[in-house]
Structure formats: C-alpha cells, structure tokens
Amino acid sequence: MSATRYTYLGPEGTFTEAALRTLPEAAARELVPMVSVPAALDAVRSGQAAAALVPIENSVEGGVTTTVDELAKGEPLMIYREVVLPITFALLVRPGTKLKDIKTVTGHPVAQPQVRNWLAAHLPDAVWESAASNADGARLVQEGRFDAAFAGEFAAATYGLEPLVSEIHDAANAATRFVLVGRPARPAAPTGADKTSVVIWLGDDHPGALLELLQEFAVRGVNLMRIESRPTGQGIGNYCFSVDAEGHITDRRVGEALMGLKRICPQVRFLGSYPRAGVALDEVRELRPGTSDGEFAAASDWLARCQDGRF
C-alpha cells in the first residue's frame, strides 16, 4: 500500500481537490486525481492509495448517491474524517467570450440545481450538458466543446480560462461535505464532537420495519443527523439505509444502538466514527437524561447487583 498517496475526484481543479488541500496532512502526500468516485475508492481497496477524499453530501442537492452506494457495497472501507467546504461557482469561459456568446454550458450534475435560477435569469436559452466533474467541465471548455462551465474560480488558471461571472449560487451558505476514506482500522479516540456512519439493511418489508430501526437510536438518545434510503439492486422495494448519527462507537448509547441493530437486521456495515467538521465541544447538544456513559454504567452495575442478590 502507498502510505503517501491520496486519491480524489479529479481532474485537477475540482472542489474535492480544494477540500483535500485543507487537510494538514495533504501537504505531505502525493495527491492523485481520479476519473470518478469509484476509481478513487478502488485505489484504496487495491492498496494503490492510503485514502481517498470524495464528496458525499450537498446542502442543496442532498446525498451524492455514487459515494453513498460505493460505501455500501464491495470490500468494506471506513471514513476517517470529514471536510465541509462552502461552495460558490464561477462561470468560466475562454478569453474574449461574452455572456451573449454562450450557447452551451456544462458542470457536474450536482452543480446544476445550485445555479438553476441564475441560468434561467441570465442564460435562459443555453443548453446544459453534464460533465464528470466541474473541473472536467472546465477542461471541456478549454478544448472548445462547450462555451462555459460552472466550476470553482480557482480552476480558471489551471485550464487557461477566465471567470466571466463570480460568486454564483442560488442558495446562500451552500456547502458540500466530503469524507476521507481508508481501509478499516480501529477508529480514532472520541473527541466529544463525533459522528458515526453506518449502512443498515432491512430484514423484510413489513409495517413498522423502519420504525424498529429508528427506535434502536431513539430509545438510547442517539440523534440522527442524516438518513437516506438507497436501492439494494435486488429488486423494486428492496432498500438499505445510510445513516449518520451523533456520537462515537465507544459511547455506550451509540454502541448499544448498533448492537440492537445487529440483532434485528440481516446486515449492518459500520463506516466509521470520526470528528464532526467545524463543531466545537461547546456546540454539541446536551445529552438526554439517562443516556450518558456514566448512567449506562450505573444501570449495568445495578443489574449485576440484582443478579447477585445484592439489591
């Protein structure tokens, strides 16, 4: 395995690369762009890279389904940390291009919903065609295949383009969440401001099946930050659920919730416990009474004393 190589969704100039470069360890790694999320993750699975940074969630468009699905299948991988990057687009063009000259535009599919209103107001007749990434869209503009691309302004210099318009976004404070993924290992120690990710498969489809899964978290006071259903590929109506929960697997409430899920589900895939991006300890919500590690330990001790006749 190459311990010094990190892969990411390329080519050069993507928001994913920008997010990766915010990690302190990135300065000491060889950063290798890949053509797709599966390619970036497969490089980790095969040992060609120590880790991969890939997008997993956007505040406007929701989950990046390719990443969600890739983490749910194949050889297991684990999330080690997350990066949240504010997203704003620039309209990149070849030098000399005017707004009235633009007939075709491109960008990543997730970008389109974030600039749809701007497009309707300023380029209502322009034809949109998706690219593999925003940076790849910039490359296609450089090659003359499109008139303009929506990408990060920082990508302009890489592809010899100019930002015709900057700071484009339909939703204020738009952001994308990225995850650094490696091979399974012992999770890092809890920080007190952590997140745990799992994929859960239903045993069978019956009334209340999803409620039964959610109750494993709810009765232990574990807050869910994201839940997304994804088809398993085994026929219409067969779904698994990708879940992010507050807390760390070593927290008693989280560990017991995962054990409860393992008892009632045919498959549970642990994707990691890792620090929440940009969240300080004083911003973490207070635990519901009865759900702290100390209270779980006290209840366990009480049960042991009852079993020994020492109550």
Q: What is the pLDDT of residues 210-251, one digit of tens each?
A: 999 999 999 999 999 999 999 887 877 788 999 999 999 999
| Per-residue pLDDT at 295 exceeds 70 | yes
Encode burial over 56-90: b for 16+ CB neighbours within 10 A, e otherwise: bbbebbebbbbbbbbbbeeeebbbbbbbbbebbbb
Q: And the tokens for 136?
A: 């790849």
pTM: 0.89
Among candidate residues 1, 79, 80, the one with its CA nearest the CA of residue 45: 1
Q: Where are the alpha helices (DSSP H) in 73-193?
A: 112-122, 134-142
pLDDT confidence of 205, banded at 50, 70, 90?
confident
293-302 average pLDDT score: 94
Q: Where in the chain is the domain with CATH 3.40.190.10?
A: 89-168
Distance of CA 184 to the CA centre of its chain: 17
What's the mean pLDDT when you consider all of the chain? Answer: 93
> pLDDT-based confidence at 2, cuts 50/70/90?
low
CATH class of 89-168: alpha beta
Q: Which residue has the tokens 């709810």?
A: 218
With a pLDDT cut of 90, the percent of the chain lying above it is 83
CATH code of the domain occupying 186-310? 3.30.70.260
Identify the pLDDT of residue 290.
93
Please give the share of the chain, as a percent, with pLDDT higher than 70: 99
Where are the domain boundaries for CATH 3.30.70.260 in the chain? Answer: 186-310
Backbone angles phi, psi at 56, to 5 degrees: -130, -20
- Single-letter code of the amino acid located at 49: A
CA–CA gap between residue 305 and residue 311 (Å, rounded): 6
